[in-house]
Amino acid sequence: MTSAELKLKTSETLDPGFQPASLFFQHYDEQASQNPESTRTILALARPDGTCFHHSMRLLPDGGEFSELNERYIERTLKFLLWMQGGSRIHFCGPRRLADYLRATYSATGARVFDFGFIGQKIFREDLTVEHHDSAATLPPALDKTTTLGGHLQGCRIGFDLGGSDRKTAAVIDGKVVFSEEVPWDPYFQSDPNYHLEGIRQSLQSAAEHLPHVDAIGGSAAGVYINNEVRAASLFRGVTDADVFEGQVRNIFKDLAKEWNDVPFDVINDGEVTALAAALSLKTHSILGIAMGTSLAAGYCDPNGRITSWLNELAFCPVDMRPDAPADEWSGDVGCGVQCFSQQAVARLAPAAGFDFGNMPFPEQLVEVQMALLEGHTGAARIFETIGNYLGHCLPLYARFYPLKHVLLLGRVTSGDGGEILLETAREVLHAYYPELAESIKLHTPDETNKRHGQAIAAASLPALV
């Protein structure tokens, strides 16, 4: 499968070298289905608590001409599953050589050392391991856990969403928003947790001033949170001292709850709140919520209307298969979603669109591009067309792994006229390349207020009143 076979026909984008993972997987599946020697293979991702996800696929005969292709296929599949569903114990029923390849790649000395450490030790508190199985009968049984979150609108509530470039806060009374604000901040590389703590305190107090009293507080932030405990989060990536993290970060939200007289207080991953915002807005299920902001946040509401236990960290999931795809500055991997659906994507595409922003912060670059679009700058329009092109090709990839009927787009990148261009381009790509999916997947955007504050409002509905 050559680069030419994966290269887009639409060369008018600002990134004509983009090689969609959706087409890579599509071409591979076609080859496997036509090859009589292909075999059924299973990847199972298990967690310490017994949760386990199974993913089945057909694999071309291993060895010879398909060796390198199989490695690429199975490694990119595992990478996607690790960050979509999550698990520290990888079980592989397939060729032993490929199990050895995955074990070496996802190790302390392998190419995916970031994933090895982050998924394993930081999230699940154990080493990430790969075990080979000759038979599917010896795999751990599939077991998923879902929960019903949010939708609680009674009383006086505060909702907050902690992003990488701003804090969004909303005050809600019986489901009606009476106050919302967006405050810029720069938490990513702050080594002193007091920066985060004081910022969150300020936002909560600002919202509380518009309420007669506070019955509950709900929040969202990028990362993994278990029972309000910070397990791993980009928001606190600047806190590199392990003792400081343990002493001042891990229980930061539990400490805040005490300051507010222990009212019901729930904090979860921002992606899950994105999905909840989508479900509340559209009043339907099988929804993938995608928030394009400082990074890429995502969440999923399943066909039964429940939030899954999946990680849904699509920022790290591969979407671009070219070997020299843009690299994620945090994980070091190339072709990840964050480089296509965030302020980072806007900044990366800006020079090709005729902008010279120098070292201007990414949020400010986005604002400049959006203002230039209003003034008729053709390069600004092409930035959003290119991001829309990415999206149109990535939705089939997401549909490969998620039962999907609806997609709700949120975040600062989708605001204004740029968001409309992005959405229209995505629809055009779907109809041109994936006509069946174009009819089955519906794309949505909330109104402008919910685009910017929808997550904070949905977060407010998280806690149930005692």
The pLDDT tens digits for 246-304 are 999 999 999 999 999 999 999 988 878 878 877 777 778 889 989 898 889 888 988 88
Where are the domains positioned within the chain? 18-144, 148-466
pLDDT score recorded for residue 450: 59
Residue with tokens 């998620």: 402
Q: Determine the Cα–Cα distance for residues 452 and 181; give it in Å rounded to an integer.
A: 10
pLDDT score recorded for residue 447: 65
Q: Identify the three-state secondary structure at position 282.
A: helix
pLDDT score recorded for residue 1: 43
Nearest alpha carbon to residue 446 among 312, 282, 211: 282
| 3-state percent helix, strand, coil for the chain, nearest multiple of 5 | 45, 20, 35
pLDDT score recorded for residue 6: 45
User: Residue 227: left if φ>0, alpha if ψ -120 to 50, beta else—which one?
Assistant: left
| Topology at the third CATH level for domain 148-466 | Nucleotidyltransferase; domain 5 (3.30.420)
Which residue ranges of the chain lie beneath pLDDT 50? 1-7, 9-11
Per-residue pLDDT tens for 166-209?
Answer: 899 999 999 889 999 999 999 988 999 999 999 999 999 999 99
Residue with tokens 């999946």: 310
pTM of the predicted structure, to 2 decimals: 0.84
Nearest alpha carbon to residue 288 among 334, 329, 341, 235: 341
pLDDT score recorded for residue 449: 56
pLDDT score recorded for residue 5: 46
Q: Determine the Cα–Cα distance for residues 49 and 47; give it in Å rounded to an integer.
A: 5
| Structural contact between residues 455 and 172, judged by C-beta atoms closer than 8 angstroms | no
pLDDT score recorded for residue 96: 97
pLDDT score recorded for residue 12: 67
> Residue 216 has which token pair?
């509950």
Residue with tokens 């190419």: 111
pLDDT score recorded for residue 4: 43
Q: Where are the alpha helices (DSSP H) in 85-188?
A: 96-105, 113-115
pLDDT score recorded for residue 305: 76
